[in-house]
């Protein structure tokens, strides 16, 4: 291979078919956002030198947090996407460094990409200039007429389902996108744009596990895969119910006994050199909070409430403030990691939190904070409450010196 290989991760969509208020690439599965899982696995490939992640503008801060946490030490850039996937990939292509001679395009919502598949597609592309992963189709297919009645039944033996990763020589992919832009042509994927130039695209057998998360049913399958990976990696724990998006499918594994309640409290001063993050949400236009991590008082208070209900030591014992591993850490991610451990013995019933601040105005972001915490704790959103109140200009909080939060959590013990 001459030159380096960089990835473009298409994460610019909003996932309308998921029916979620959060784009699918930011939904947490197995304690991590889908984008984080994809980044981790793609950056694990020794062939991939770095990546450009294409993000929707309104979720840019969340995407940058995922990049910071899951890039595995490799250079990863963020860029704003366009109104279509094709425009987003073109924007990502413009940000790939000049020394990269090869480009790998991958969907952010395909978190099961393997190092082996990346290697096989890349090696084929190094020989031919363009290669994609694809899988056979096992279901019968129908072509529909205008009246929604079956018109043609194609032979499935002659068809393949196209996946990502797709790897191309950089100059070839650039020419393909410029030609499509000139002709006002929109393709279904990048390989179609390359084919328009008359360049052959090599096919590599992909994996059915490398599916694209598109609907709530796909989240169920992804949860099962993550659970399987934890078990085979030795992270043994009692059965945890597989969940549909936001709703538990089964609730066995609980002991009939009184719930246990814990209370958490945290307070931080404002700091002018960092973003204001609460419940994993970046509140725009206001300085952030002091702290060894990102200063997210909401997540910290919820963690202490969970630890109190479980009869454990406080958050400082679990994530010491002097530990360099947690410097600047994304606190929503720490909450998810903590819950991985606690959930082996405990089931969360509900969480109630109140943020106390004179500024900034938090109420427009409470629903998103609530959804973040619900996903981190594997709860239905209705089981999490996030509220905001002001101290009526009294005391240090009233003088706009910082933000405080109090949280209550109820747990019950698993079998």
Question: Domain extents for the chain?
Answer: 4-212, 217-248, 260-413
Radius of gyration of the chain (CA): 23
Tens of pLDDT, residues 129-143: 999 999 999 888 888
Decide whether 4-212 matches 260-413 in CATH topology. Answer: no
Which CATH homologous superfamily contains domain 4-212? Spore Coat Polysaccharide Biosynthesis Protein SpsA; Chain A (3.90.550.10)
Give residue 257's pLDDT.
57
Query: Across the chain, what does the average pLDDT equal?
Result: 88
The DSSP string of 289-341 is: E-SSS---HHHHHHHHHHHHHTT---HHHHS-TT-GGGTT--HHHHHHHHHHH
Cα distance between residue 185 and residue 357, in whole Å: 51
Question: Peptide bond before 165: cis, by omega within 30 degrees of 0?
Answer: yes
Say which residues have a Cβ less than 8 Å from residue 263's Cβ, sequence separation at least 6.
Answer: 304, 305, 308, 406, 407, 408
* Helix and strand counts by DSSP (H, E) for the chain: 12, 18
Average pLDDT over residues 61-72: 92
CA 166, distance to chain mean position in Å, is 21
Give residue 154's pLDDT.
84
Say which residues have a Cβ less than 8 Å from residue 292's Cβ, sequence separation at least 6.
Answer: 321, 322, 323, 326, 327, 328, 329
Give residue 22's pLDDT.
82
Cα distance between residue 376 and residue 364, in whole Å: 20
pTM for the model stands at 0.59
Phi-psi region of 99 (alpha: psi -120 to 50; beta: other; left: phi over 0): alpha
8 Å CB contact between 134 and 204:
yes
8 Å CB contact between 390 and 247:
no
Question: Peptide bond before 360: cis, by omega within 30 degrees of 0?
Answer: yes
pLDDT class for 112, splitting at 50, 70, 90? very high
8 Å CB contact between 406 and 344:
no
Of 32-36, 156-160, 326-330, 332-336, the range with the lowest mean pLDDT is: 326-330
CATH code reported for the domain at 260-413: 3.30.1330.50
Q: How far is CA 93 from CA 64, 89, 102, 165, 170, in A?
A: 18, 6, 11, 15, 8
Average pLDDT over residues 305-334: 90
Tens of pLDDT, residues 178-210: 999 999 999 999 999 999 999 999 999 999 999
Nearest CA-CA partner of 403 in 414, 413, 389, 382:
389
């Amino acid at each position: 291979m001459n030159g380096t290989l960089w990835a473009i991760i298409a994460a610019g969509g909003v996932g309308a078919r998921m029916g979620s208020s959060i784009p699918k690439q930011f939904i947490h599965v197995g304690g991590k956002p889908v984008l984080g899982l994809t980044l981790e696995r793609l950056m694990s490939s020794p062939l991939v030198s770095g990546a450009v992640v294409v993000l929707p503008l309104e979720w840019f801060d969340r995407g940058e947090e995922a990049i910071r946490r899951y890039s595995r030490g490799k250079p990863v850039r963020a860029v704003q996407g366009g109104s279509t996937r094709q425009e987003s990939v073109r924007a990502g292509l413009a940000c790939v460094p000049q020394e990269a001679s090869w480009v790998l395009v991958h969907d952010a919502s395909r978190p099961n990409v393997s190092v082996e598949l990346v290697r096989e597609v890349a090696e084929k592309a190094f020989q031919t200039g363009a290669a994609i992963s694809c899988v056979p189709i096992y279901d019968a297919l129908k072509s529909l007429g205008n009246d929604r009645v079956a018109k043609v039944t194609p032979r499935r033996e002659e068809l393949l389902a196209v996946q990502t990763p797709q790897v191309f020589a950089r100059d070839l992919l650039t020419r393909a996108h410029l030609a499509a832009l000139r002709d006002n042509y929109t393709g279904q994927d990048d390989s179609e744009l390359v084919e328009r130039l008359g360049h052959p695209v090599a096919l590599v057998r992909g994996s059915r596990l490398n599916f694209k998360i598109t609907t709530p049913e796909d989240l169920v399958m992804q949860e099962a895969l993550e659970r399987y990976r934890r078990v085979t990696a030795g992270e043994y724990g009692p059965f945890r119910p597989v969940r549909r998006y936001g709703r538990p499918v089964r609730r066995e594994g609980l002991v009939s006994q009184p719930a246990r309640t814990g209370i958490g409290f945290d307070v931080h001063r404002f700091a002018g050199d960092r973003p204001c993050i609460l419940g994993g949400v970046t509140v725009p236009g206001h300085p952030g909070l002091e702290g060894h991590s990102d200063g997210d008082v909401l997540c910290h208070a919820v963690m202490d409430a969970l630890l109190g209900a479980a009869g454990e030591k406080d958050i400082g014992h679990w994530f010491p403030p002097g530990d360099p591993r947690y410097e600047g850490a994304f606190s929503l991610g720490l909450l998810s990691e903590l819950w991985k451990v606690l959930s082996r013995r405990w089931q969360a019933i509900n969480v109630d939190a109140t943020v106390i601040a004179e500024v900034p105005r938090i109420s427009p972001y409470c629903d998103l904070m609530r959804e973040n915490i619900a996903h981190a704790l594997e709860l239905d959103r209705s089981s999490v409450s996030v509220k905001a109140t002001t101290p009526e200009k009294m005391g240090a909080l009233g003088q706009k010196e910082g933000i405080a939060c109090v949280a209550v959590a109820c747990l019950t013990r698993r079998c």
